[in-house]
């Protein structure tokens, strides 16, 4: 039914990919691999979405990247349809918190009790924090390594990650540790943020 409403299977898959991954850019062959569609069909639908304004494009290192346009007039209703019902539990500058049904968050449950999980770095083309994945909470180290190994295989790239306890991260926030501030200021995709951990530093950065 959704395919009939929105024109094609490829278009629906693209919308699901982009709206499930706000703040995350993708290049054409990466998109083709993730949605398992022919590259010509993908290129055609990307052109359509660009012309409408649903996505934006940016050329970096001779690669053309595409990303959902969060300023698009109908971003919120489309997010409800294609993003799995993303909930904004806090007003975060340039971030989005995905809902409990998000696949990445579901996979994280096997790692332990996660208070904060963030994609940045290679995922968002922002090296501010110097890492690609941050996990805060009580985690099983073996389960975390398995999660990272599987994520690296899925993304076809080596990932830099850091994990720490909630107490450690809160202390770093309290003293305005450089790493904690860089995470808050970076372009990121927030998978989990149970305690609204990033909002205070983000707000301070916005006011400066």
Domains of the chain by start residue, with CATH: 2-75 (1.10.10.10), 87-207 (no CATH)
Q: pLDDT tens digit string along 131-179?
A: 999 999 999 999 999 999 999 999 999 999 999 999 999 999 999 999 9
Q: Which of 6, 3, 20, 117 is nearest to 68 (CA)?
A: 20
Residue showing tokens 């999660």: 147
Q: pLDDT tens digit string along 11-27?
A: 999 999 999 999 999 99
Arithmetic mean of pLDDT, 108-128: 94
Neighbours of 15 (CB within 10 A): 22
Residue showing tokens 């993003």: 83
Q: According to the model, what pLDDT value does residue 7 have?
A: 74
Handedness of CA 25, 189, 180, 147 (dihedral sign): negative
Beginning with the edge strand found earlier in the chain, give each strand of the sheet holding 26-27 in spatial order: 26-27, 63-68, 55-60
Residue 22 · residue 53 · CB < 8 Å: no
**Does residue 37 carry a pLDDT above 50?**
yes
User: How does residue 199 score in pLDDT terms, banded at 50, 70 and 90?
Assistant: confident
**Does residue 205 carry a pLDDT above 80?**
no
User: How does residue 99 score in pLDDT terms, banded at 50, 70 and 90?
Assistant: very low
pTM for this predicted structure = 0.78
Residue 86: in which H helix or E strand, if any? none
User: Which of 68-82, 105-119, 128-142, 165-179 is predicted with the least confidence, judged by mean pLDDT?
Assistant: 105-119
């Amino acid at each position: 039914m959704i395919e009939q409403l929105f024109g094609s299977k490829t278009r629906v898959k693209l919308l699901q990919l982009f709206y499930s991954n706000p703040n995350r850019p993708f290049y054409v062959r990466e998109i083709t691999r993730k949605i398992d569609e022919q590259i010509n069909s993908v290129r055609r639908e990307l052109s359509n979405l660009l012309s409408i304004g649903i996505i934006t494009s940016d050329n970096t290192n001779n690669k053309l990247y595409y990303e959902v346009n969060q300023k698009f007039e109908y971003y919120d209703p489309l997010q409800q349809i294609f993003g799995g019902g993303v909930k904004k539990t806090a007003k975060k500058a340039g971030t989005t918190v995905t809902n409990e049904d998000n696949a990445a968050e579901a996979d994280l449950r096997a790692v332990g009790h996660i208070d904060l999980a963030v994609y940045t770095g290679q995922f968002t083309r922002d090296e501010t924090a110097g890492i690609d994945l941050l996990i805060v909470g009580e985690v099983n180290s073996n389960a975390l390594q398995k999660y990272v190994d599987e994520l690296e295989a899925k993304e076809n790239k080596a990932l830099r990650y850091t994990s720490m306890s909630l107490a450690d991260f809160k202390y770093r926030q309290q003293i305005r540790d450089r790493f904690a501030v860089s995470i808050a200021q970076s372009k990121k995709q927030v998978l989990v943020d149970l305690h609204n951990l990033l909002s205070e530093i983000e707000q301070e950065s916005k006011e400066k």
